[in-house]
Structure 1
């Protein structure tokens, strides 16, 4: 499994536009083959930061995602939305276990 955590600092005046792009990206990404889960949220400490949590079955699913129209549209819009450098961390995961709370 491939897990990504992406952090995007957004210009405050561009937040609504960024959220619209994120909503479309999440909706369409969750329909992709090989996608386990794709989520976006605003940071509770800084509401102008978008965080993405992405889980793919494998590297091929991740690569396919980067070739989709919805991903490319989001990627193309980013330069006008960003307030700073994005950060993306990739985790290669051998196993995952859901914990009971």
Structure 2
């Protein structure tokens, strides 16, 4: 499984537009074959920061995601929305275990 955590600091003036793009990206990405889960959230300490949490079955699913219209639309819009450098972390996971709390 491939897991991504992407962090985007958005210009506060462009936050509504960025959130619209994020909502579309989440909705469409969760429909993709090979996507396990795709979420976006605003940071509780900085509402102008959007964090994406993405899970894919494998490399092929991730690569297919990057070729979709909704991903490419977000990627094209992103440079005009950012207020800083994005940070993207990629994890390759061999196993997952749900914990009881």
Alignment TM class, shorter chain as reference: over 0.9
State TM-score, norm by structure 1: 0.99
Corresponding residue for 2:46? 46
**Which consecutive unaligned segments of at least 5 residues does structure 2 have?**
none
Give structure 1 regions of 4+ aligned residues with deviation exceeding 2 angstroms: none
Q: CA deviation at 1:21?
A: 0.2
Find the residue that maps to 1:89 and give its secondary structure.
Answer: strand
| RMSD between aligned residues | 0.3
Q: Which residue number corresponds to residue 31 of structure 1? A: 31
Offset at 1:37? 0.1
CA drift of 1:85 comes to: 0.3
Q: TM-score, normalised by structure 2?
A: 0.99
CA distance in 2, matches of 1:73, 1:99: 36
Aligned to 2:2: 2
Structure 1: runs of 5 or more not aligned: none
Q: Determine the C-alpha separation between the residues in 1 that align with 2:79 and 2:56.
A: 25
